[in-house]
Amino acid sequence: MDLRRLVPLLMVLLVVQLGLASFSLGNMVLKVQHKFAGRLRNLTEFKAHDARRHSRLLSSVDLPLGGNGHPAETGLYFAKIGLGHPSKDYYVQVDTGSDILWVNCIGCDKCPTKSDLGIKLTLYDPASSVSAARVYCEDDFCTSTYNGMLPGCKKDLPCQYNVVYGDGSSTAGYFVRDTVQFERVTGNHQTALSNGTITFGCGAQQSGGLGTSGEALDGILGFGQANSSMISQLASAGKVKRAFAHCLDNVNGGGIFAIGELVSPKVNTTPMVPNQAHYNVYMKEIEVGGTVLELPTDVFDSGDRRGTIIDSGTTLAYLPEVVYDSMMNEIRSQQPGLSLHTVEEQFICFKYSGNVDDGFPVIKFHFQDSLTLTVYPHDYLFQISEDIWCFGWQNGGMQSKDGRDMTLLGDLVLSNKLVLYDIENQAIGWTEYNCSSSIKMKDDKSGSVYSVGAENLSSASHLLSGRIATLLSLLFAMLHRLT
């Protein structure tokens, strides 16, 4: 056979293989990692993380980037994504409490250069990506994000962002548009590299904890509801549905973070509170060991912050003071001989040598539409040394003025549960689940249902790279023979 006739065929095969990696995102997965995985639980470290986060989450000083509060310190779970062309890896916090994706950029002032998490930090450089483009103040993204034209906007003026948080930390820079790379689900426990184009923040200056954290990451990947969030942008482009699910493993670390339509397991849902910056739901009552707490009827409906915030980026669980006191009193009534003491001036702890699941009550949070969140003693109690346990419940009355009436459920109660965020239908749901097992996602375009697990998620992309490398080698060998 004429070798020259094989070359076009091989070129076509190569293009097909490459095209499979960028044809459609369908369902995407992120392999998440817990930053405290394998480390001794340190309550001071947990509380410090939450304190930094909530001072920003509750801040009224904020630009309209799709919400009135954004986290800025590293979160509990992070993932690796690819940005630019050629793609480079960046480690970003996976966060349901913020909206935009932003990463530290080249030339950044006071951006972190190293991390204690064992990862290599990378500064994004728009000039090194052939697909990068600046976003200017007259662009649709900028005007829609800020609900109008920025003051002083003129031709070729970049669309800037500047977020100032409650503790004085800040991140500032400008928006760019570039390629983002993820793993697309292509089969059972198989993925292939796929990409889309999104607009994100290029951090030029950081201050406060953002520039000095020993647990620094390259940025934050927000999964909020605003149009500026990555999932909203990809959904507007017809790439994905505005729905995602996560299963966070607080024993082994990591878990599953998948974008798309969840098929299995079936998850019952409760409505979201409308017009809220975060993922808020309606809590109805709290049950401690079979006893329903007697609480004021409006305790979970306080002013502008209506409902209960579901936030995987927060470590512990925060309750209004009246709720906290009532819950702790009921727990103590079932352990009348318990001697409590304060550790590190902020944690209620006690000595206990038995099995906590046998000695302490199960707590159930009841939400609208009969959805229940069950929290076991081993979830809300932390063992900090032999026979010494501490409560993970936190008194919101000890927080700032803005935070004292806040009800926020974080990683303490969300871990080892599959949590579904159905933004399109404005509903949230969950079910107890083994986060090291698999879930099933539906490909919207083909209708196929695929299993997605917490392990070997990138095996298909490696196979894809191998097939491309084989084709290239064969092609180059034939071209060499023709010369």
Query: What residues are annotated to the active site?
Result: 95, 311
Angle at 190 between CA 185 and CA 196, to 5 degrees: 35
What is the DSSP code string of 384-434? EETTEEEE-EEEGGGS-TTTTT--EE-HHHHTTEEEEEETTTTEEEEEE--
The answer to whether 103 touches 216, Cβ cutoff 8 Å, is: no
- CA 178, CA 143: separation in Å to the nearest integer? 19
Residue 11's Cβ-side half-sphere holds a number of Cα atoms within 13 Å equal to 7
Burial-class residue 356 by CB neighbours within 10 Å (0-12, 13-18, 19+). Answer: middle
- CA 316, CA 75: separation in Å to the nearest integer? 12
Query: Which residue in the block uniquely carries the two structure tokens 């002083």?
Result: 152
CB-CB neighbours of 266 under 10 Å: 9
Radius of gyration of the chain (CA): 24
* 336-345: Cβ within 8 A, 24+ apart: 343/43, 343/384, 343/388, 343/390, 344/43, 344/44
Tell me the one-letter amino acid at 34.
Answer: H
